[in-house]
Amino acid sequence: MKKGLSASEEELMNHLWQLEKAFMKDLLEAYPEPKPATTTLATMLKRMAKKQFVGYTLFGNSRQYYPLVTKEAYFSKQLNGLVQNFFNNSPSQFVSFFTNTSNLSKKELESLRSLINNKLDQQ
């Protein structure tokens, strides 16, 4: 099983998901100031490739990086792990915690109810 990503690796992965394919210079340009050092990005990309989150194609001496996992698959796995580890594998406990601690507006709560009702109608 793959190890997860650190917060800085997730940030880099978000840039890569947005760009879809990118050389080092493209990834650096995607960051706001202050930009990370090239060596920092190279180290993170090497770790992420070892964890099998990132692949690359060689073009001479340059590497074009691309994600090996989709954003949806990554965050689904993270969310499922959160529910399992912190909410006794109970989605209803998670939803209860989320709705009680996130100060959702009435409109947002109605939107969530609509999503749930639509999902129930599909089953």
Interval 16-43: pLDDT, tens: 999 999 999 999 999 999 999 999 999 9
By C-alpha distance, which of 69, 22, 18 is closest to 41?
22
Asked if CATH classification 1.10.10.10 holds for the domain at 7-67, the reply, yes or no, is yes
Q: What angle do CA 45, 47, 52 make, to 5 degrees?
A: 90
pTM reported for the whole predicted model:
0.75
CB 51 within 8 A of CB 43: no
**Confidence tier at 2 by pLDDT (50, 70, 90):** low
